[in-house]
């Protein structure tokens, strides 16, 4: 018999049974019954516990990648937040340190300014408070630039002081700034007076001993000079007022074969660290001009008539 003629339908025995609608009604009623019974009598609770116990390892394995991803994300997020917080703390710490340093510097400047104002009140001549801007570019000289000039009526040769003593002298004047030659410059000389012996001398800038030093020259080898003597301005040069502190004697070298002694001094002013100074008028400006002598008027004599 050819294969195409075979009947592929199942025998009538397997077609017997309830219909699909009957099966749906039975299953629905059974589901409703189970729901009511579970809600009222908890009949499905043991089965639910058993299924949860059996399925727990599968759930645990399924959740591992998710938990690992969440842990890694949280770790990097926490690390970024910690680094950002650390940077913010460092910025605040640096800012507070900078402010603390500024406070200390401002307190020091305040003390110096108070001393300068007190010195200005004690001086009889007019004084102008100026600020040191920068050092001169010449490395072989000791000069600084201040922020006052011709506009502020700064005169050539004006003495410059800080809160501790004489600092230098104005040697160049520009419209807005001025150049000050410090007393430690090798070409600068200032007449001084030894307050202990009342002996006059001339102090020059000298850098042979150290950077900021002076030398009291042309003093005899047997002159009465001792370490610690205070040198003040003598006032005989017509520039510096008398009595201003200049330097203190630090070291004396006396040689038998030398006529003059080597006397090293240390300036009292902060020639390398002063930020504010006082500029005075030279003494020559305060001295009144010399009076003009009266010239007698010649009276013509009366001639004798012949």
Residue 21 pLDDT exceeds 50: yes
Buried/exposed 91-113: b ≥16 CB within 10 Å, e otherwise = eeeeeeeeeeeeeeeeeeeeebe
Residue 33 has pLDDT above 90, yes or no: no
232-256 pLDDT per residue, tens: 999 888 888 888 899 999 999 988 8
If one compares 281 and 289, the residue with the highest pLDDT of the two is: 281
Q: State pTM to two decimals.
A: 0.58
Residue 223 structure tokens:
């002159």
pLDDT for position 250: 92
Going by pLDDT thresholds of 50, 70 and 90, the confidence category of residue 149 is very high
Return the percentage of the chain with pLDDT > 70, whole number: 78
* CA neighbours closer than 13 Å in the CB half-sphere of residue 80: 6
| % the chain with pLDDT above 90 | 27
pLDDT of residue 171: 92
Least confident of 197-201, 209-213, 227-231: 209-213
Residue 8 is predicted with a pLDDT of 60
- Count the helix, strand and coil residues of the chain and give each as a percent rounded to the nearest 5: 35, 25, 40
Give the tens place of pLDDT for each residue, 69-124. 888 888 888 888 888 888 888 888 877 777 766 666 666 666 666 666 666 566 66
Tell me phi and psi for residue 247, to 5 degrees.
-155, 175
Least Cα distance to 190 among 238, 139, 131, 262 occurs for 238
Distance (Å, rounded) from C-alpha 268 to C-alpha 74? Answer: 65
Beta bridge partners, 233, equal 192
Average pLDDT on 219-242 reads: 90
**What is the overall mean pLDDT for the chain?**
81
Is the pLDDT score of 217 beyond 60? yes
The answer, yes or no, to whether residue 167 has pLDDT greater than 90, is yes
On the question of pLDDT at 172 being above 50, the answer is yes
pLDDT tops 90 at residue 127: no
Specify the DSSP element, H or E, that contains 110. helix 45-122
Question: DSSP state, 124?
Answer: S
Name which of 267, 274, 278 is nearest 135 in CA terms.
Answer: 274
* Res 190 pLDDT > 70: yes
Q: What is the pLDDT of residue 306?
A: 43
Q: Please determine, for residue 152, whether its predicted confidence score (pLDDT) is greater than 50.
A: yes
Residue 300 has pLDDT above 80, yes or no: no
């Amino acid at each position: 018999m050819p294969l195409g003629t075979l009947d592929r339908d199942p025998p009538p025995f397997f077609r017997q049974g309830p219909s699909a609608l009957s099966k749906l009604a039975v299953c629905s009623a059974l589901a409703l019954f189970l729901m009511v019974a579970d809600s009222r009598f908890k009949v499905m609770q043991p089965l639910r516990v058993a299924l949860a116990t059996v399925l727990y390892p599968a759930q645990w394995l399924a959740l591992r990648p998710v938990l690992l991803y969440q842990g890694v994300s949280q770790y990097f997020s926490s690390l970024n937040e910690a680094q950002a917080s650390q940077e913010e703390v460092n910025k605040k710490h640096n800012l507070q340190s900078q402010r603390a340093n500024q406070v200390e510097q401002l307190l020091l400047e305040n003390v110096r300014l108070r001393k300068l104002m007190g010195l200005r009140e004690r001086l009889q001549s007019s004084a102008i408070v100026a600020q040191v801007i920068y050092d001169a570019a010449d490395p072989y000289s000791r000069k600084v630039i201040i922020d006052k000039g011709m506009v502020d009526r700064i005169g050539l040769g004006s003495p410059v002081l800080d809160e501790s003593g004489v600092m230098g002298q104005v040697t160049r004047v520009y419209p807005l700034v001025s150049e000050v030659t410090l007393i430690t410059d090798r070409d600068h000389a200032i007449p001084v007076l030894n307050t202990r012996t009342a002996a006059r001398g001339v102090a020059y800038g000298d850098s042979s001993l150290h950077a900021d030093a002076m030398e009291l020259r042309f003093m005899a080898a047997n002159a009465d000079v001792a370490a610690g003597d205070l040198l003040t301005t003598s006032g005989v040069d017509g520039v510096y007022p008398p009595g201003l502190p200049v330097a203190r004697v630090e070291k004396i070298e006396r040689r038998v074969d030398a006529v003059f002694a080597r006397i090293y001094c240390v300036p009292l002013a902060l020639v390398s660290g002063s930020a504010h100074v006082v500029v005075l008028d030279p003494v020559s400006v305060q001295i009144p001009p010399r009076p003009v002598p009266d010239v007698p008027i010649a009276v013509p004599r009366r001639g004798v008539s012949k």
